[in-house]
């Protein structure tokens, strides 16, 4: 019998698992890796071979993801024994590259054992853990196709690597202090700090108040102790990151519980092999500096996912700020020379190593909503795990994503590979990161795009990149349709469905800026069944940076006077924006839910200006007291397309402010009112289209309170609700939606 095993089965100990299973059953034959996955030949009594094949999927190693086992009868050769044979190439690559996985318990035990030859070795790993995607340069996943190719294993490591019964059998990054990468602590000028233990010295530097640039798994972090306001504020100033919260690294769950409250789902995410940054409610007495997360009710906490991070966290014994190694708005540094150049004015010292990083990869970020994970950023630990396309494509596809929170996606057949987080593509550096990432994925998965899907917005750098591609068919995909399609496709659905797609901005089919949309449609097409009432967006990007402009827009349109919260805004500036609104000069119409949140937050004095996109809405949500929620009224125009007009709610907000009602109550009432009118609009659109499926997506639905209220309301109305789970609801899902739309349109002719 010959069996083809499809799925994530390379670099996860699958071949030694098959070898041990064959020994157990007394089966002869062989197993090998090739460009499609794993191939097995098994020779023995028919009933024994059948039982063996059943176990190939049922008992797969923990990091494996077996999609299928297809078997065919072949002639018996009579060969004795069972072997693991060399990898083969030939044909198109479809075998998934494995994600990077956190250090397993067996390796952690060795790390802490003074008698073990890998005691305190920052790069120990085995088949069940360690680097994968960040070091791979090609497939099959063998050592020559990784950045470990330059390290020759010592005799002891080679013996482990060659032994099918050893847990390091064909662990491609296998190494030890005698033959593997080494870590060094260096000054800004590159001179090595003299020390017997660079890891202990680095931890002491952190305790002494130094800021370190640390080369990790997918790039550089900037780190400092989290309980020292002076050093955290210095890091924030040097990094030019005014208010966005910093992530924290702690040694274990007990240390995390000294900072945040953890539900069971949150703890499960924190300890998962992906080891994301988990957003959890901070404790009132959490020992962190105020500058770690200004005005934020949550802290982003993660556990160590490499031996290097484990040693740092354990040796330091305090929570550490662990933030991306970049200056604000730049991609994370991962090349040593580039890191030295870009970070030397931020870091006091550098903790570096000599294992190259193939692909820069930020940390993933997740929060729990409705007892389920909601990804805010999909990157390390998740990329490049493939997603199924519900409609297969006969051609190779590329989706280039949007401008903010960019990720791209390549696809062929019924498989799509969404990329790691690229970032906001607003400069040459992030555009270069996009181009390099696409080139790497095209080589890794042997995808030669024949169709390139892109956003409608002509000024997005991602769109311009798509237009530069030669010899391809271009497919335009409306931004909010991509959100709808991505969520449907992630769940294996093709539609039709009604979707509430709420975000900041996205170019609509009519040339205006959308962002508060009720759509009805599926993968191939859609119609705009409803929207939030339009208002002027005065000054374009300026209105995003200065939420008071959106408040001015609504209040000018409603002929309401200037509320007290706007006293810091000079009358001259207010009048200038008001003139834009009255004349339409320097402004464009928008239905954006994100900008509506900005406006109401500004009216309440939460934020008149922001240092990162969505900050006003995030802080406005944080203030909400759900127990005080009597929903504000929104006007619903039932004539198709439905229009949700927030003016009655805004007037109620102003009245409550004048009456001295706490902002916590106002925030709760606003959230509840928007959720209720969204449910009413979706139910109305669903009835007209005769559908029972609803989608909630777009960056605004990262708002836990709004998502919970809206989803509960839709379910109470009898609709089945889908929200993103394996992709973020923000623009990180756009590229996957673009390829899903392109594939569906191709199939529809």
| CB neighbour burial string for 100-124, b if at least 16 within 10 angstroms, e if fewer | bbbbbeebbebbeeeeeebebbbbb
Output the CA torsion 140→146→148→154 (10° steps): 10
Assign residue 454 the CATH number of its domain: 3.30.420.360
Q: Is residue 362 part of a domain?
A: no
Are residue 339 and residue 208 in the same domain, yes or no? yes
Instruction: Please tell me the distance from the alpha carbon of residue 616 to that of residue 242, in angstroms, as a whole number.
Output: 14
Q: 95 or 507: whose pLDDT is higher?
A: 507
Strands (E), 419-480: 451-455, 473-477
Per-residue pLDDT for 476 more than 90?
yes
Per-residue pLDDT for 98 more than 90?
no
Q: 577 or 496: whose pLDDT is higher?
A: 496
Are residue 464 and residue 553 in the same domain, yes or no? no
Are residue 233 and residue 317 in the same domain, yes or no? yes
**What mean pLDDT comes out for the span 408-427?**
94
Q: Is residue 657 a contact partner of residue 460, using CB atoms and an 8 Å limit?
A: no
| CB neighbour burial string for 550-577, b if at least 16 within 10 angstroms, e if fewer | bbbbbbbbeeeeebebbeebeeeebeeb
Q: Is residue 374 a contact partner of residue 364, using CB atoms and an 8 Å limit?
A: no
3-state secondary structure of 22: helix
| pTM (2 d.p.) | 0.92
Per-residue pLDDT for 442 more than 70?
yes
The alpha carbon of residue 40 and the mean position of all alpha carbons in its chain are separated, in whole angstroms, by 35
Q: Is residue 422 a contact partner of residue 322, using CB atoms and an 8 Å limit?
A: no
Instruction: Please tell me the distance from the alpha carbon of residue 531 to that of residue 93, in angstroms, as a whole number.
Output: 44
The alpha carbon of residue 540 and the mean position of all alpha carbons in its chain are separated, in whole angstroms, by 27
Average confidence score pLDDT of the chain:
93
Are residue 101 and residue 64 in the same domain, yes or no? no
Q: Is residue 481 a contact partner of residue 519, using CB atoms and an 8 Å limit?
A: yes
Q: Quickly count: other Cβ atoms within 10 Å of residue 506's Cβ.
A: 30
Are residue 458 and residue 595 in the same domain, yes or no? no
The pLDDT of residue 87 is: 72
3-state secondary structure of 389: strand
Among 43, 62, 84, the domain-final residue is 84
Domain total for the chain?
A: 5
Contacts of 156 by beta carbon, 8 Å cutoff, 6+ apart:
117, 176, 178
The pLDDT of residue 15 is: 86
Q: Is residue 246 part of a domain?
A: yes
Assign residue 47 the CATH number of its domain: 3.30.70.100
Q: Is residue 91 a contact partner of residue 25, using CB atoms and an 8 Å limit?
A: no
**What mean pLDDT comes out for the span 381-397?**
95
- Token readout for 508 is 């609509």
Q: Which domain holds residue 66?
A: 2-84
pLDDT in tens, 317-340: 999 999 999 887 778 899 999 999
Per-residue pLDDT for 308 more than 90?
yes
Are residue 278 and residue 404 in the same domain, yes or no? no
Tell me which residue of 180, 319, 326, 332 sits closest to 256, measured CA to CA: 319
Query: At residue 526, what are phi and psi to the nearest 5 degrees?
Result: -160, 165
Q: Is residue 368 part of a domain?
A: no
Q: Is residue 357 a contact partner of residue 372, using CB atoms and an 8 Å limit?
A: no
Assign residue 173 the CATH number of its domain: 3.90.870.30
Q: What percent of the chain has pLDDT over 90?
A: 74
Tell me which residue of 55, 62, 46 sits closest to 11, measured CA to CA: 62
Assign residue 229 the CATH number of its domain: 3.90.870.40
- Token readout for 701 is 């639905």
Are residue 576 and residue 666 in the same domain, yes or no? yes
Among 128, 157, 181, the domain-final residue is 181
Are residue 191 and residue 163 in the same domain, yes or no? no
Q: How far apart are the first and last CA of the chain?
A: 40
Are residue 473 and residue 573 in the same domain, yes or no? no
The pLDDT of residue 64 is: 83
Are residue 308 and residue 214 in the same domain, yes or no? yes
- Lowest-confidence segment of 353-362, 421-430, 490-499, 509-518 by average pLDDT: 421-430
pLDDT in tens, 153-175: 999 999 999 998 899 988 999 99
> Residue with structure tokens 């009255």?
582
Q: Is residue 707 a contact partner of residue 730, using CB atoms and an 8 Å limit?
A: no
Q: Which H or E element spans position 156?
A: helix 155-162
The pLDDT of residue 8 is: 80
Per-residue pLDDT for 711 more than 70?
yes
The pLDDT of residue 92 is: 52
**What mean pLDDT comes out for the span 273-297?**
95
> Residue with structure tokens 């390099």?
436
Q: What is the 3-state secondary structure (H, E, C) of 47-97?
A: HHHHHHHHHHHHCCCCCCEEEEEEEECCCCCCCCCEEECCCCCCCCCCCCC
**What mean pLDDT comes out for the span 532-542?**
90
Q: Is residue 680 part of a domain?
A: yes
The pLDDT of residue 1 is: 80
Tell me which residue of 716, 713, 718, 670 sits closest to 692, measured CA to CA: 718
**Is the omega angle on the peptide bond into residue 126 within 30 degrees of 0, that is, cis?**
no
Assign residue 631 the CATH number of its domain: 3.30.420.40
The pLDDT of residue 696 is: 98
Q: Is residue 431 part of a domain?
A: yes
Burial class of residue 61 (count of CB atoms within 10 Å of its CB; 0-12, 13-18, 19+): middle
Instruction: Please tell me the distance from the alpha carbon of residue 430 to that of residue 329, in angstroms, as a whole number.
Output: 9
Are residue 568 and residue 591 in the same domain, yes or no? yes
Strand partners, 4: 39, 70
Instruction: Please tell me the distance from the alpha carbon of residue 108 to that of residue 66, in angstroms, as a whole number.
Output: 27
Q: Is residue 190 part of a domain?
A: yes
Strands (E), 320-468: 320-324, 349-353, 365-369, 372-377, 387-399, 409-418, 451-455
CA distances from 602 to 107, 161, 391, 607 (A): 51, 60, 44, 5
Q: 278 or 58: whose pLDDT is higher?
A: 278
Q: Is residue 710 part of a domain?
A: yes
Q: What percent of the chain has pLDDT over 70?
A: 99
The pLDDT of residue 96 is: 62
The pLDDT of residue 36 is: 75
Instruction: Please tell me the distance from the alpha carbon of residue 602 to that of residue 591, in angstroms, as a whole number.
Output: 18
pLDDT in tens, 683-708: 999 999 999 999 999 999 999 999 99
Burial class of residue 186 (count of CB atoms within 10 Å of its CB; 0-12, 13-18, 19+): middle
pLDDT in tens, 576-627: 888 888 888 888 899 999 999 999 999 999 999 998 888 999 999 999 997 8
The pLDDT of residue 91 is: 52
Output the CA torsion 24→129→202→433 (10° steps): 150
Please state at what angle helix 663-689 crosses helix 647-658, rounded to 10 degrees: 170
The pLDDT of residue 573 is: 86
Contacts of 89 by beta carbon, 8 Å cutoff, 6+ apart:
34, 35, 140
Q: Which pLDDT band holds residue 567 (cuts at 50, 70, 90)? A: confident
Instruction: Please tell me the distance from the alpha carbon of residue 129 to that of residue 125, in angstroms, as a whole number.
Output: 6
Q: Is residue 274 part of a domain?
A: yes
Per-residue pLDDT for 78 more than 80?
no
Are residue 314 and residue 453 in the same domain, yes or no? no
Among 60, 84, 108, the domain-final residue is 84
**What mean pLDDT comes out for the span 20-38?**
87
Per-residue pLDDT for 60 more than 90?
no
Strand partners, 412: 415
Strand partners, 206: none
């Amino acid at each position: 019998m010959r069996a083809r095993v499809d799925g994530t089965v390379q670099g996860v100990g699958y071949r030694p698992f098959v070898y041990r299973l064959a020994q157990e059953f007394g089966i002869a034959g062989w197993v090998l890796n090739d460009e499609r996955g794993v191939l097995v030949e098994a020779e023995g009594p028919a009933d024994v071979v059948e039982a063996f094949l059943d176990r190939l999927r049922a008992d797969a190693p923990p990091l494996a993801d077996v999609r299928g086992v297809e078997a065919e009868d072949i002639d018996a050769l009579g060969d004795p024994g069972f072997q693991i044979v060399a990898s083969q190439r030939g044909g198109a690559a479809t075998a998934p590259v494995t994600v990077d996985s956190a250090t397993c318990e067996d390796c952690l035990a060795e790390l802490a054992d003074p008698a073990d030859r890998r005691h305190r070795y920052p790069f120990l790993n085995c088949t069940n853990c360690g680097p994968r995607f960040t070091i791979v340069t090609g497939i099959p996943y063998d050592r020559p196709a990784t950045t470990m190719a330059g390290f020759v294993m010592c005799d002891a490591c080679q013996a482990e690597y060659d032994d099918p019964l050893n847990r390091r059998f064909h662990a491609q990054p296998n190494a030890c202090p005698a033959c593997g990468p080494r870590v060094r602590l260096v000054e800004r000028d590159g001179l090595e700090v003299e020390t017997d233990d660079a890891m202990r010295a680095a931890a002491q530097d952190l305790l002494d108040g130094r800021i370190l640039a640390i080369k990790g798994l997918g790039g550089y972090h900037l780190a400092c102790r989290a309980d020292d306001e002076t050093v955290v504020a210095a890091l924030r100033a040097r990094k030019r990151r005014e208010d966005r919260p910093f992530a924290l690294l702690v040694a274990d769950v007990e240390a995390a519980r000294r900072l945040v409250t953890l539900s069971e789902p949150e703890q499960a995410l924190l300890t998962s092999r992906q080891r994301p940054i988990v957003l959890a409610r901070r404790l009132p007495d959490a020992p962190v500096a105020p500058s770690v997360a200004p005005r934020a009710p949550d802290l982003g906490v993660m556990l160590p996912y490499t031996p290097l991070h484990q040693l740092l966290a354990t040796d330091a014994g305090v929570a550490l700020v662990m933030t991306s190694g970049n200056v604000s708005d730049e991609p994370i540094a991962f090349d040593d020379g580039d890191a030295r150049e870009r970070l030397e004015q931020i870091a006091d010292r550098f903790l570096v190593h000599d294992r190259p990083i193939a692909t820069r990869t930020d940390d993933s970020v997740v929060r729990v909503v409705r007892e389920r994970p909601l990804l805010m950023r999909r990157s390390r630990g998740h990329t490049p795990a493939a997603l199924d396309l519900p409609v297969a494509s006969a051609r190779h596809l590329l989706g280039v994503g949007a401008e903010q929170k960019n990720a791209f996606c390549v696809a062929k057949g019924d498989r799509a590979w969404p990329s790691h987080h690229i970032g906001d593509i607003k400069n040459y550096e992030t555009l270069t990161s996009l181009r390099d990432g696409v080139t790497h994925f095209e080589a890794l998965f042997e995808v030669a795009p024949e169709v390139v899907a892109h956003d409608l917005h002509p000024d997005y750098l991602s769109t311009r990149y798509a237009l530069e591609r030669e010899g391809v068919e271009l497919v335009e995909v409306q931004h909010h349709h991509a959100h709808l399609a991505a969520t449907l496709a992630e769940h294996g659905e093709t539609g039709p469905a009604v979707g509430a797609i709420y975000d900041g901005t996205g170019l609509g089919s009519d040339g205006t800026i959308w962002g508060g949309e009720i759509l009805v449609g599926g993968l191939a097409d859609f119609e705009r069944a409803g929207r939030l009432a339009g208002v002027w967006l005065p000054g374009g990007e300026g209105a995003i940076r200065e939420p008071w402009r959106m408040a001015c827009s609504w209040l000018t349109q409603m002929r309401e006077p200037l509320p007290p919260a706007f006293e810091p805004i000079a009358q001259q500036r207010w009048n200038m924006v008001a003139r834009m609104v009255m004349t339409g000069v320097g402004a464009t119409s928008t239905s954006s839910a994100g900008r509506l949140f900005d406006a109401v937050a500004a009216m309440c004095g939460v934020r008149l200006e922001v240092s990162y996109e969505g900050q006003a809405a995030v802080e406005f949500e944080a203030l909400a007291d759900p127990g005080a929620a009597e929903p504000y009224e929104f006007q619903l125009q039932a004539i198709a397309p439905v229009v949700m007009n927030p003016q009655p709610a805004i007037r109620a907000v102003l009245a409550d402010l004048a009456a001295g009602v706490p902002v916590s109550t106002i925030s709760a009432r606003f959230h509840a009112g928007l959720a209720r009118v969204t449910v009413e609009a979706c139910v109305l659109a669903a009835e007209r289209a005769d559908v029972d499926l609803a989608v909630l997506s777009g960056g605004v639905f990262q708002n836990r309170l709004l998502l919970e209220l809206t989803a509960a309301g839709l379910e109470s109305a009898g609709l089945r609700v889908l929200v993103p789970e394996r992709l973020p609801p923000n623009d990180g899902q756009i590229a996957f939606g673009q390829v899903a739309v392109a594939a569906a349109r191709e199939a529809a002719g």
